[in-house]
Amino acid sequence: MRLSYVLGCGVLLAIVSPAACAPDVTQPVARDSIRVAWHTAREPVVGGARPYYHIAADEHLLFVPARGVAAYELATGAPAWQVASVGQPPENVVVRDGRVFTAGTIARALDSGTGRELWRFAGDSVAPVVSAADERAFYVLSESRQVYGLDVVTGQPLWSAEALPQGQYRALSTGIVVHGDTLYASFVEETSPTGHLKRGWIVALERNGGRVLWRYVNERPNEPHDAGRHAVAGRMLLVNDLNGGAFMGVDRFTGQEVWRHVGPADRFGARDVFKVADGVAYLASNDTRLYAFDPETGRKHWTAGLGGSASSSAVCGDYVFAAAGSLQMFDRATGKRRAALFMDSDGFVEPGSHVVSRLLSHGGRVYFLAYKGVYAVECSL
């Protein structure tokens, strides 16, 4: 049975053993040694803030999906515009070709320069989960196991398809990734009346038309499992199993599992989305570790302790950043921790200062939403 997780030492999301929240004293670093490029204050993020919201950027603006969508000047952090949510707030924003796309319970397209709404689509109970876009379509999932390809200009459906057959219990849509001519959609399907037992699905569909190519299921008898927060790495589709405390490599052309890593039995797996750079994959996990590994085989290059459960990672230059309440910076080659932000001299997260979004690496900086503001930090010491 998996226990629960912590956002970071001193910032509890759920109760775990004290060891799970102990600071990592093996790699001490100077307090606030990550260089802040700019910081824009905003009201504290409270009331259901989730540390896995995706933020996005184009050449000029940073887009943050908290209390709707807010845009900030990429160079300075100056506020540019803000638009309130419609329906349930989205988990992410996607920006492409002058449009910002969001999917809460309603899918919307906004003008990236002004925030003006271009279109909206309600459809069949759009799921407020990670979505994707290309030059032709904005791809969203519904709570009824459907995938929609929406025209980026008009918001009208180009096609829709049933990704997962209807079942006895509900299935939660969790995300979608587009790569080449294929979409990879993820679901968590409950398999018991109480919802305690679950299995995870990855469904590969043709980008044009939605024909199902294959389905991968991650399940074990009498255990809760899922599949999601996935990323493409060459031939592999890297997949997380949050409930099962594992991550896997799945052949993205056949849907067959190739390798699996299972973490400590008393910890959840990762909410992070894999980052792949120069043939190495990185993952920050709720099991309090940062991993660097070969995506083709799953072989570990190194692991590093984070002192608390992690929500996100980002690769920038020679470093990989991890958010575990505090922000930590590691050498990509060795896994040695080099710097930190929001961490006190004892290795605990500073009160009222923690990361509440996924990290975004863009143009030599890492961007994120923190409890009391938006930050850009430098990717060098």
Parse the chain into domains and list their residue ranges: 1-52+271-381
What is the overall mean pLDDT for the chain?
88
HEC per residue, 243-306: CCCEEEEEECCCCCEEEEEECCCCCCCCCCCCEEECCEEEEECCCCEEEEECCCCCCEEEEEEC
Is the predicted pLDDT of residue 9 greater than 80, yes or no? no
- 90 vs 38, which has greater pLDDT? 38
Average pLDDT over residues 176-197: 93
Average pLDDT over residues 264-274: 88
For residue 3, how many other CB atoms are within 10 A of its CB?
Answer: 15
DSSP at 42:
-
| Residue 21 φ then ψ, to 5° | -110, 10
Amino acid letter, residue 155: G
Round to whole Å and give the CA distance between 204 and 182.
7
Round to whole Å and give the CA distance between 133 and 138.
4
Round to whole Å and give the CA distance between 142 and 203.
14
Average pLDDT over residues 306-324: 94
Inter-residue contact 152 to 137 (CB < 8 Å): yes
Round to whole Å and give the CA distance between 154 and 147.
17
Helices (H), 160-254: none
pLDDT tens per residue across span 351-378: 878 898 999 999 999 999 998 899 999 9
What integer pLDDT is reported at residue 324 of this predicted model?
92
- Contact residues for 375 (Cβ-Cβ < 8 A; gap 6+): 36, 38, 39, 40, 367, 368, 369
Is the predicted pLDDT of residue 7 greater than 90, yes or no? no
Inter-residue contact 363 to 59 (CB < 8 Å): no
pLDDT tens per residue across span 56-104: 999 999 999 877 899 999 999 999 999 998 877 777 899 999 999 998 8
- Contact residues for 313 (Cβ-Cβ < 8 A; gap 6+): 272, 275, 282, 283, 284, 290, 320, 321, 322, 323, 359
Beta bridge partners of 204: 184, 214
Half-sphere exposure of 120 (CA within 13 A, CB side): 10
What integer pLDDT is reported at residue 5 of this predicted model?
40
**Residue for token pair 């060891």:** 19
SS3 label, residue 19: helix
Is the predicted pLDDT of residue 347 greater than 80, yes or no? no
Is the predicted pLDDT of residue 259 greater than 70, yes or no? yes
Is the predicted pLDDT of residue 335 greater than 50, yes or no? yes
Q: What is the CATH number of domain 1-52+271-381?
A: 2.40.128.630
Amino acid letter, residue 122: A
- 354 vs 209, which has greater pLDDT? 209
* b/e burial code for range 316-336 (CB count within 10 A of at least 16 → b): beebbbbbbbbbbbbebeebe
